[in-house]
Structure 1
Amino acid sequence: MLITDKTGLYTAFKAKDARFDGRFFVAISSTGIYCRPVCRAKQPKIENCTFYATAAEAEQAGYRPCLLCRPELAPGMSITDATVTLAHRAARMLEENCGSGQRLDELAIRLGCTDRHLRRVFMAEYNVSPVQYLQTCRLLSAKNLLTDTNLSVLNVAMVAGFGSLRRFNDLFKKHYNLAPTVLRKRISERKKHDSNITLALGYRPPYQWQQILNFLAQRAIKGVEIVKDGQYLRTVHLVNADQQHIYGWVRVGHKPKQDVLTVTISETLLPVLSQVLARVRHLFDLYCDPYAVYETLAPMNNIRAGLCVLGIRLPGCFNAFEMAVRAVLGQQITVKASSTLAARLVEHYGTPLQTGVEGLTHVFPSPENILALDGLIENHFGPLGIIASRVRTIFELAQALVYGKIDFGFCAQPEVEIKKLMAIRGIGSWTAQYIAMRTMAWTDAFLETDVGVKKALEPYTSKQLLSMAEAWRPWRSYATINLWNSL
């Protein structure tokens, strides 16, 4: 779907096709603004249009964001689309940490390269420096907060990562020819009287919301997660840049007519807002291009009609350790039974939390919490009904995370981390691939020995399934989810 010539890009812009949303931005010389390709404003002439790969590139060229289509809501690019380049991994990390004040050299260390090399590859990919990209992330985050919340301008500046109100005002006026207070006046009366902090995150339609909600509901951990009234709610525990522990709750809903998910957070989570939004994007797979996935997997419907559905998303996770423990507990037992064990674990060793939301009572125990328990770990978890071998696996998993032996982040190399996971006693191929699929957004896991996969594709053997799935690369994780949904 990559288009490089101006005529092709203009045709895509004219069509308002949501498949191109977030893949390029259109700068219009006659107005000085830049838009998403789905913008419904009056169509400009082609000679007035310049096309850019990112919002940051458009802003560095002197354009300001459209107030109608709101470029800050555009969906991002999937790492698979980007062939897993260093630049795209860096961009994800900049988006997640734009509010933390993280320095470029610190980012480079996490990515395993020098800051000089990072600047070089980033500029080659995006035509802007990492610092310029980060600045645009912060400006667009601030614009989103000014538009959709009633936070004070000072709080917006701090949450977006600017460090000072003066710097925020200067940059906002310079880039957007508009003072933050002027934009704030555009907020409706309804927003002014709304005490909730609710933001929108865009995606590329179609989005099979009910399917991913059903998946999460079946695996929800009592006290930590709830799915009700068409929304997903959960408790949150994150650590900010100053190593402070931040607690709160988040609620995610769906507005299909606007092609966005709504994210409502407790005010306590403002210091880690960029982290929360990044994890919601990951959990609900908002970087996905559903047509790219469907193009490869559509032949599944030749096996059985309806086996592959356009718009299915790959459920990620919000808390990697929580998800990994849940996967270990679920080995060789039913989904319901593993949920029961996870709920017991939370009730006895989770951190109690006052949320004001019925059913959200605890945060899942951290790996540090597990390692801090006195005596043998079996003496703690055994009475909960967790067998000894699973207990030891969970303990070793906690050790690996605390000591940095395993990386569950989206910058990790899944194949490498899978080998590390399988070196832990009690973690086999199925569990390792499932953990990689959900914690690292690995799109190419295929669980040929899974009971559900085998049932959906009877009477094929595991060996035949593995051979068949070769045609589904690099989207075999999506194939797995489709097969589960078909049951």
Structure 2
Amino acid sequence: MTDNKDALYAAFKAKDARFDGRFFVGVSSTGIYCRPVCRAKQPKPENCTFYASAAAAEHAGYRPCLLCRPELAPGTSITDATANLVYRAARMLEESSGSGQSLDEIAGRLGCTDRHLRRVFTAAYHVSPVQYLQTCRLLLAKNLLTDTDLPVLEVAMAAGFGSLRRFNGLFKKQYKLSPTALRKRTVEEKKHKDNLTLALSYRPPYPWDEMLHFLAGRTLAGIEVVKNGEYMRTVHLVNADGTPVYGWVRVGHDPKKDALSVTVSETLLPVLPQVLARIRHLFDLYCDPVAVYETLRVMNDIRPGLCVLGARVPGCFNAFEMAVRAVLGQQITVKAASTLASRIVQAYGAPIQTGIEGLTRIFPLPEDLMSFGGAIKDRFGVLGVTAARSTTIFELARAFVQGEIDFDLPAQPEEEMKKLMAIRGIGSWTAQYIAMRAMEWPDAFLETDAGVKKALQPYTSKELLKMAEAWRPWRSYATINLWNTL
């Protein structure tokens, strides 16, 4: 992509948001690199060099622009990557930038050797995985220095640097100024004291109201709240040394900046990269809406308005929570499923103090539900859950605990769906739904779903499945578009 300099310069000159995060521009006359949407004075073509990643631009000696802030550029979705292995590795490096996870461990999770990973990664991004990871950490630190009033030591630790000395040295070497000097150049007043607020960018258009409406209809009492145009939820994660971390997040919309505003409790600082990665997944911020629409606009030949530019697939924050909710939602209404899941939360979810009304519990851990054994049918029975579904949830929890299924990024959704359907009580609809929302699978299609069939009356399930072949690899987005028409 970065070989076609004339086309890339034209996109840069037009400030085309479709290319934001797709490439970065190094400007030799200033020594900085920018996003293609940067509003600074347009440099001459001969002064521009184009890079596939921020890491490649930094490796070439450029510093990030303080105006367009490359650390805010949106990422790419799974099917955008020409090399799936490389893409997944890059995403894992971003998410684990604060965990201290080694390249050997990441390669092992991807099912390859670290030598092979280094070779293919360098060929795709023109930097090594270690250099890419270093850039992820530096850009996260830059974001925290710019948008929060955290002490520099806490910024260094949150971004994954082992020591303040190493952080200061690397930051000054790469960006030609110290972390404190960068903070002094930031003119915005820092107002957060007990929490952090950061921006996560997306490629417009973004259907915030539709996304919020979808999540509002599925909130779990005690865990999630949708109020005043914002989404809030409790968080339970584990940090690098295995210690549980608890807190909360609040997500709002900043349409003027094409970004979501994410406020995170300061207790979540040790797992900040994980939190941000899960927010991006939940709100589908990696999506390229134009690429999706180019394929799915043929839906409008069936009936005008079936496909709308910008539709997103709501993901999830907690994969086990989503899987349990999917099992509970089989053959009943969304409201009924949410009621049952909320009862389980109230009965077995651990309490948490957040200071926010309505956020009082975390979702039960798979280990907790597995410990019930055969008694789960009695425990869930009094809550209104059938014996068959209680048993399915127990088997799901057991599979999670024993590592038989894996919804994390290295997982292959089609293989994990087969494992899911091997669990009694989980059929194609449930497996596809879980893959769509918990595994970022863009090509799930629910041909037997009542909403899909209603939106495309009078076609049969068999006819729908055949019709949807033309919508690959974006059938998950087709499903959401159909639901949005109801």
TM-score clears 0.5: yes
- Offset at 1:409? 1.3
SS of the aligned residue for 1:471 comes to helix
Q: Is the 8 A contact 2:446 2:452 kept in 1?
A: yes
Partners in 2 of 1:460 and 1:85 — Cα distance? 35
Which residue of the partner structure matches residue 61 of structure 1?
Answer: 60
Which residue of the partner structure matches residue 121 of structure 2?
Answer: 122
Which residue of the partner structure matches residue 330 of structure 2?
Answer: 331
Matches within 5 A, 1:238-277: 238-277=237-276
Which residue of the partner structure matches residue 133 of structure 2?
Answer: 134
SS of the aligned residue for 1:351 comes to coil
Q: Is the 8 A contact 1:150 1:195 kept in 2?
A: no
Q: Is the 8 A contact 2:137 2:159 kept in 1?
A: yes
Partners in 2 of 1:360 and 1:108 — Cα distance? 37
401-410 vs 369-378, which deviates more? Answer: 369-378
- Offset at 1:196? 3.1
- Offset at 1:4? 3.6
Which residue of the partner structure matches residue 303 of structure 1?
Answer: 302
SS of the aligned residue for 2:25 comes to strand
SS of the aligned residue for 2:80 comes to coil
Work out the number of aligned pairs and report it. Answer: 486
What are the Cα deviations for residues 106-156 of structure 1, in whole angstroms up to 9, with x where unaligned? 111111111111101111111110000000000000000000000000100
The 1:486/1:3 distance shift into structure 2, 3 A limit, reads: farther
SS of the aligned residue for 2:43 comes to coil
Matches within 5 A, 1:65-76: 65-76=64-75
Which residue of the partner structure matches residue 364 of structure 1?
Answer: 363
Q: Normalization by structure 2: what TM-score?
A: 0.99
User: Is 1:43 paired with 2:42?
Assistant: yes
- Offset at 1:195? 4.4
Which residue of the partner structure matches residue 402 of structure 1?
Answer: 401
2-11 vs 224-233, which deviates more? Answer: 2-11
Matches within 5 A, 1:353-432: 353-373=352-372, 376-432=375-431
SS of the aligned residue for 1:401 comes to helix
The 1:245/1:195 distance shift into structure 2, 3 A limit, reads: closer
Q: Is the 8 A contact 2:148 2:192 kept in 1?
A: no
Q: Is the 8 A contact 1:99 1:274 kept in 2?
A: yes
Which residue of the partner structure matches residue 98 of structure 2?
Answer: 99
Q: Is the 8 A contact 2:18 2:203 kept in 1?
A: yes
Matches within 5 A, 1:23-42: 23-42=22-41
Which residue of the partner structure matches residue 435 of structure 1?
Answer: 434
Q: Is the 8 A contact 2:232 2:250 kept in 1?
A: yes
Which residue of the partner structure matches residue 190 of structure 2?
Answer: 191
What are the Cα deviations for residues 263-288 of structure 1, in whole angstroms up to 9, with x where unaligned? 10111100000000000000011110
SS of the aligned residue for 1:481 comes to helix
- Offset at 1:44? 0.2
Partners in 2 of 1:356 and 1:195 — Cα distance? 12
Q: Is the 8 A contact 2:296 2:307 kept in 1?
A: yes
- Offset at 1:84? 5.4
Partners in 2 of 1:333 and 1:129 — Cα distance? 49
Partners in 2 of 1:186 and 1:344 — Cα distance? 50
AA aligned opposite 1:426: G
Q: Is the 8 A contact 2:369 2:397 kept in 1?
A: yes
- Offset at 1:192? 4.9
Q: Is the 8 A contact 2:2 2:50 kept in 1?
A: no
What are the Cα deviations for residues 326-363 of structure 1, in whole angstroms up to 9, with x where unaligned? 00000011000001000100000001001000000100
Q: Is the 8 A contact 2:432 2:444 kept in 1?
A: yes
The 1:245/1:81 distance shift into structure 2, 3 A limit, reads: same
Partners in 1 of 2:254 and 2:452 — Cα distance? 31
Q: Normalization by structure 1: what TM-score?
A: 0.98
Partners in 2 of 1:40 and 1:122 — Cα distance? 31
AA aligned opposite 2:473: P
Q: Is the 8 A contact 2:373 2:394 kept in 1?
A: no
AA aligned opposite 1:154: L
Partners in 2 of 1:340 and 1:184 — Cα distance? 47
Q: Which runs of 5+ in 1 are unaligned?
A: none
> CA RMSD, aligned part only?
1.1
Which residue of the partner structure matches residue 346 of structure 2?
Answer: 347
Q: Is the 8 A contact 2:194 2:266 kept in 1?
A: no
Which residue of the partner structure matches residue 168 of structure 1?
Answer: 167
AA aligned opposite 1:326: R
- Offset at 1:49? 0.3
SS of the aligned residue for 2:226 comes to strand
Partners in 2 of 1:424 and 1:194 — Cα distance? 47
Partners in 1 of 2:192 and 2:468 — Cα distance? 53
AA aligned opposite 1:212: M
Q: Is the 8 A contact 2:2 2:23 kept in 1?
A: no
User: Is 1:321 paired with 2:320?
Assistant: yes
- Offset at 1:411? 1.8
Which residue of the partner structure matches residue 236 of structure 1?
Answer: 235
- Offset at 1:187? 3.5
AA aligned opposite 2:12: F
Q: Is the 8 A contact 1:410 1:439 kept in 2?
A: no
